[in-house]
Amino acid sequence: MSKSFKRFDAIEAVKAPKNGMAGYVPASFDISRIFGENALHMNELKDRLPKQIWKELKKTITENAPLHPDVADAVAVVMKNWATERGATHYTHWFQPLTGFTAEKHDSFITPNQGGGAVAEFSGKELVQGEPDASSFPSGGLRPTFEARGYTVWDPTSPAFIMENENGSTLCIPTAFASWKGEALDHKTPLLRSTEAINKAGLRALELFGIEARRVTSTVGAEQEYFLIDKEFFYRRPDLVMAGRSLFGAVPPKGQELDDHYFGSIEDRVLSYMLDVEKELYRLGVPVKTRHNEVAPGQYEIAPIFETSNIAADHQQLTMIVLRKIARKYDLVCMMHEKPFAGLNGSGKHTNWSVSTTEGLNLLEPGNDPHTNKLFLFFCTAVIRAVNMHQDLLRAVIASAGNDHRLGANEAPPAVISIFLGDQLDDVYNQLKSGELKSSKDGGLLGLGTPVLPPLHKHAGDRNRTSPFAFTGNKFEFRAVGSNQSVSLPVTVLNTIMAESVEYMCEQLEDKLKKDDFETALRKVLTDVTNENANILFNGDGYSEDWQAEAKKRGLLNLKSTMDALPYLNSEKNVKLFEKYKVLSKAELDSRFEILVGQYFMNINIEGETTASMVQTMIVPAVVRYINELAATLDRGEKLGLSIGGTKRVAQHLSEELDKLIEANEELIKQNAELGGDTELEKAEHMRSNIIPAMNKVRDIADGLEKYVADDYWPMPTYRDMLFVK
Ligand code: ADP
Ligand code: MG
């Protein structure tokens, strides 16, 4: 009889020593020697370009001055030489379409001609502008298919880099992607526009404070969480392959309860993998810094040193690409879905964000006595106002089918957006509410009761893992961002709402300065804005039931599903906001809404169909075979006069559950066949209201069966296999 041979094969394969086990250990490397060797950084450009051209390019890179065609031509030559010296044969305009991933279209540097020769072709024109066939990327109605034209445009502020492949290397040129009408079809363009908005607002504020700066920029460092699963398991699970998450799986007796994984020692294979990933990223000039295990078994994290937001966003995409690519070398699959395993922590992308001057002054650095730090209080208060006024928007840009599992679940921040300030700042803001600032709590020293350990300086604010938006020392951390998503849109929103808030406070301050001295005027503005927005401040446990009730009382939004949150993206208020700061037009916002709704629909549609087919082709057959075996036992047992009561009860239970499973699956199949309407919105609504409940019902029964069916019949790797067999 054919049994679940596949599953045991997988376990054997995972346990068996791999041929190339030694190959798992990457060669040691010297970071300072390899860092950035595959990225074309400013210094390299400076060395290779004529002085005058370099000066002009630098102006474009650091001050966003317009780019002259002569400069582009000169850079093209340098870029091509630099790339071909490194073995590149092709170049590509690398961009971030609205899929949330990256796209590329490769062109050769060398074009064969009719005479049998070949010409090198890469001029300023090719560098600056490309024309991919854009019709295969989502445009959300911005670009009807008969106007398939789309342009990629070089972003000189983000370094070009080389992607290596066994059969050759490609020069990747970071680009923006727009329709021929100039509408942004990508995530980079609005991000760049939002950096202009924050620059303008920031400079206006700094002027009031008498501080000179060339530019104000936002900085971003995103912590990427991910799971690693052996490929032997991954490819035996159609749900992981198709949907990126497990649609079935009983939670094993041991999950993450023992907390024995977090910061635990990293196994050799995984450590080798991480080292290899880091090496690749260093070579690309991505400054990765920390690595550790996460809370759930099989879950890990990688974080970079922060950079300006545009470069950080490109580097974040590269990090995801490299994490996925290198995993294959180690017979692993890197999963970045927000909730690959029910009952275990999901994965997020904590997006650390701050605002600073190009001279390096961090405007969210509180110093030791925040109550005296006017500049900090001004900018921090602007963040509080921005988040309070635009909770809806922050929730909308992190909405996805995947992230819905996370927001409000086990460890993840809840769907209610609130700000955690920590003890010290909370106290300062309580003082501010009454209009008087007297003191800042000191963190003090932490004695550990033994003289051998040196005393520690305590942070003045503790951590609060339950907050979706937390102040962490000298930056805010937007924790609700999903692990799978691009940081570009969330950062675009942060920059824009911050610009709006800073401008509002500048206006208030300028107004009050007509009567009051600076000190008094500022205190009034800070107090007013704090009082108006204090509702968003919450230091307690974000997971508790009490908070849900309290948040409701405070009038905070609690948007549980993507379908509740997305309509805020292009609401009247937000269209106005984005248009005012020239970050996104109404048409561009509408298109993003449409694309996100479409993605929600497609993801759940795939899940619904995969669930149904796995039940039909894997789970039902396994249960039937096992019942058949039990039935045979019952037959023979009866003839032989054996005691068969227990076996009968098992067989009975399985048959009943099998009936229920088939019935629930029939309902799911029926729902799958209906689309709920013609528009994407109606289809997405159908997914939310009908497909998800139908899937959950099927899964409940199937997961119950997994605990009953003979282990050697179960047709797919279990959670226990995937998470604990290494
Ligand atoms: P934790 O896990 O304690 O939050 P990590 O060191 O893992 O800390 O991550 C902190 C992240 O915050 C890093 O990516 C770091 O570069 C980033 N970060 C630090 N300062 C800033 C800043 N001023 N602006 C943006 N990101 C920052
Ligand atoms: Mg963090």
Beta-carbon count within 10 A of 642 CB: 11
Of 101, 401, 396, nearest to 247 (Cα)? 401
Q: Please say if the pLDDT value at position 641 is more than 60.
A: yes
What is the mean pLDDT of the segment spanning 454-481? 79
Of 335, 299, 337, 332, nearest to 231 (Cα)? 332
Q: Could you read off the pLDDT of 373-407 as tens digits, one per residue?
A: 999 999 999 999 999 999 999 999 999 999 999 88
Using CA atoms, how far apart are residues 424 and 574, in angstroms rounded to an integer? Answer: 33
Q: Is the Cα dihedral 402, 405, 408, 412 positive or negative?
A: negative
User: Left if phi > 0, otherwise alpha if psi is -120 to 50, otherwise beta: which for 298?
Assistant: left
Q: Compute, in degrees rounded to 10, the torsion defined by CA atoms 308, 90, 484, 724.
A: -120
What burial letters (b/e) apply to 244-264, b meaning 16+ CB within 10 Å?
bbbbbbbebeebbeeeebeee
Q: What is the pLDDT of residue 407?
A: 85
Q: Which atom of ligand 1 is nearest to the CA of 352?
A: 26
Binning pLDDT at 50, 70 and 90, where does residue 341 land?
very high
Q: Does domain 35-185 have CATH number 3.10.20.70?
A: yes
Q: Please say if the pLDDT value at position 540 is more than 80.
A: yes
Q: Could you read off the pLDDT of 647-699 as tens digits, one per residue?
A: 999 999 999 999 999 999 999 999 999 988 889 999 999 999 999 999 999 99
Among 216, 223, 311, the mutation site with the greatest number of ligand 1 atoms within 8 A of its Cβ is 223
What is the mean pLDDT of the segment spanning 278-289? 94
Average pLDDT of every residue of the chain: 89
Q: Is the Cα dihedral 230, 233, 235, 239 positive or negative?
A: negative
Cα 117 to middle of ligand 2, angstroms: 55
Name the least confident of 171-180, 574-583, 586-595, 638-647. Answer: 171-180
| Cβ 223 under 6 angstroms from ligand 1 | yes
Cα 222 to middle of ligand 1, angstroms: 7
Q: What is the pTM of this model?
A: 0.93
SS3 581: coil
Binning pLDDT at 50, 70 and 90, where does residue 19 land?
very low
Q: For ligand 1, atom 3, which residue shows the shortest CA distance?
A: 472
Q: What is the pLDDT of residue 60?
A: 87
Q: Please say if the pLDDT value at position 634 is more than 70.
A: yes
Q: What is the pLDDT of residue 1?
A: 43
Domain boundaries, the chain: 35-185, 600-724
Pick 31 or 348 by higher pLDDT. Answer: 348
- Residues in contact with 27: Cβ distance below 8 Å, sequence separation at least 6, in sequence order: none
Polymer length in residues for the chain: 726
Q: What is the pLDDT of residue 263?
A: 46
Q: Please say if the pLDDT value at position 235 is more than 80.
A: yes
Q: What is the pLDDT of residue 148?
A: 64
Q: What is the pLDDT of residue 313?
A: 97
Strand 349-357 to 456-457 pairing: unpaired
- Residues in contact with 719: Cβ distance below 8 Å, sequence separation at least 6, in sequence order: 246, 249, 250, 251, 252, 341, 343
Pick 429 or 724 by higher pLDDT. Answer: 429
Using CA atoms, how far apart are residues 231 and 233, in angstroms rounded to an integer? Answer: 5
SS3 725: coil
Among 226, 306, 469, the mutation site with the greatest number of ligand 1 atoms within 8 A of its Cβ is 306
Cα 198 to middle of ligand 2, angstroms: 24
Q: What is the pLDDT of residue 271?
A: 87
Q: Please say if the pLDDT value at position 638 is more than 60.
A: yes
Name the least confident of 94-108, 634-648, 649-663. Answer: 94-108
Pick 663 or 65 by higher pLDDT. Answer: 663
Q: What residue type is 3 in one-letter code?
A: K
Binning pLDDT at 50, 70 and 90, where does residue 119 land?
low
| Cβ 672 under 6 angstroms from ligand 1 | no
- The CATH architecture to which 600-724 belongs is Up-down Bundle (1.20)
Question: Which long-range contacts (C-beta less than 8 Å, at least 24 apart) are formed by 583-586?
Answer: 583/190, 583/193, 583/194, 583/197, 583/492, 583/495, 583/496, 584/184, 584/190, 584/193, 584/492, 585/183
Binning pLDDT at 50, 70 and 90, where does residue 461 land?
low
CB 363 within 8 A of CB 354: yes
Domains 35-185 and 600-724 share a fold: no
Cα 306 to middle of ligand 1, angstroms: 6
Using CA atoms, how far apart are residues 592 and 220, in angstroms rounded to an integer? Answer: 23
Pick 565 or 24 by higher pLDDT. Answer: 565
Using CA atoms, how far apart are residues 157 and 159, in angstroms rounded to an integer? Answer: 7
| Cβ 305 under 6 angstroms from ligand 1 | yes
Percent share of the chain, pLDDT over 90: 68
User: Left if phi > 0, otherwise alpha if psi is -120 to 50, otherwise beta: which for 545?
Assistant: alpha
Alpha helices in 435-571 (DSSP H): 488-512, 518-533, 545-554, 562-565
In Å, how far are 299, 375, 398 from 410, measured between CA atoms?
15, 37, 18
Angle of CA points 58, 63, 66, to nearest 5°: 80
Using CA atoms, how far apart are residues 467 and 476, in angstroms rounded to an integer? Answer: 11
CB 177 within 8 A of CB 102: no
Q: What is the pLDDT of residue 20?
A: 45
Most confident of 86-100, 161-175, 661-675: 661-675
Ligand nearest to the CA of 357: 1
CA atoms within 13 A on the CB side of 125: 2
Give 32: exposed, middle or buried? Use CB within 10 Å, 0-12, 13-18, 19+.
Answer: exposed
Q: What is the pLDDT of residue 345?
A: 87
CA atoms within 13 A on the CB side of 171: 27
Percent share of the chain, pLDDT over 70: 90
Binning pLDDT at 50, 70 and 90, where does residue 22 land?
very low
CB 435 within 8 A of CB 527: yes
Q: What is the pLDDT of residue 443?
A: 62
